[in-house]
């Protein structure tokens, strides 16, 4: 499945707090700051993010997969 970065950026995202190592790795993996995404919650732990995911609050950038995960191939880089 493919999705444009513009479409992905408007989806609700759950992220670690700014300055955390996990967030920095996530930003490197998508090639841009998560500030350019629709971050609906910046949380202080990975467990808090997992609970938010279970509750359907948003998406997250997965650093590695465990269990069921949908992998998206992003096309383009037109985030402005």
* pLDDT, tens digit, 9 for 90 and up, residues 33-56: 889 899 999 999 989 988 998 888
Angle at 56 (CA atoms; ends 22, 46), nearest 5 degrees: 20
d(C-alpha 23, C-alpha 45), whole Å: 11
pTM over 0.85: no
Residues sharing a CB contact under 8 Å with residue 4, sequence separation 6 or more, in sequence order = 74, 75, 76, 78
Domains with residue ranges and CATH for the chain: 2-75 (3.40.190.10)
Q: Report whether pLDDT(66) > 60.
A: no
């Amino acid at each position: 499945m493919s999705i444009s970065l513009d479409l992905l950026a408007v989806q609700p995202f759950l992220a670690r707090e700014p300055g955390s190592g996990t967030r920095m790795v996530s930003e490197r993996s998508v090639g841009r700051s998560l500030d350019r995404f629709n971050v609906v919650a910046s949380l202080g732990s990975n467990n808090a993010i997992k609970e938010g995911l279970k509750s359907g609050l948003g998406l997250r950038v997965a650093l590695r997969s465990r269990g069921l995960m949908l992998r998206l191939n992003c096309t383009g880089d037109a985030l402005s």
